[in-house]
Amino acid sequence: MITAIVLVDTDPARIPEIAADVAEIPGVSEVYSVTGEVDLVAVVRVRRHEELADVIADRLSKVEGVRRTQTYIAFRAYSQHDLEEAFDLGLGD
């Protein structure tokens, strides 16, 4: 499983609507409205690197009101909760 953390700058007047649209994209597992330099943080989980372009470049970045994205690809997960959840889903096989 490949995990990417995507920082999303949006039209501030439409943050809730944009967050809901982003959350509906297959491959996006979570979307958070946050404080700080960006408006939203999306967690993308896919099986292959090639799918990142489909989810982020082809879909997420084209949601109306998304102004800019920054993507960080995770190397390792250190949270025991996340690791246990992945094994429960059969992703460790």
Domain that holds residue 54: 2-88
Structural domain count of the chain? 1
Q: In the chain, what is the straight-line distance between the N-terminal and C-terminal CA atoms, in Å?
A: 11
Asked, for residue 68, whether it belongs to a domain, the answer is: yes
* pTM assigned to the model: 0.83
Asked, for residue 93, whether it belongs to a domain, the answer is: no
Residue 27, SS3 per DSSP: coil
Q: Give the model confidence (pLDDT) of 28-79 as tens digits.
A: 999 999 999 999 999 999 999 999 999 999 999 999 999 999 999 999 877 7
CATH number for the domain harbouring residue 28: 3.30.70.920
Asked, for residue 24, whether it belongs to a domain, the answer is: yes
Strand partners, 51: none
Q: What is the DSSP letter of 90?
A: T
Q: In terms of Cα–Cα distance, which of 59, 50, 64, 54 is closest to 13? A: 64
Residue 49, SS3 per DSSP: helix
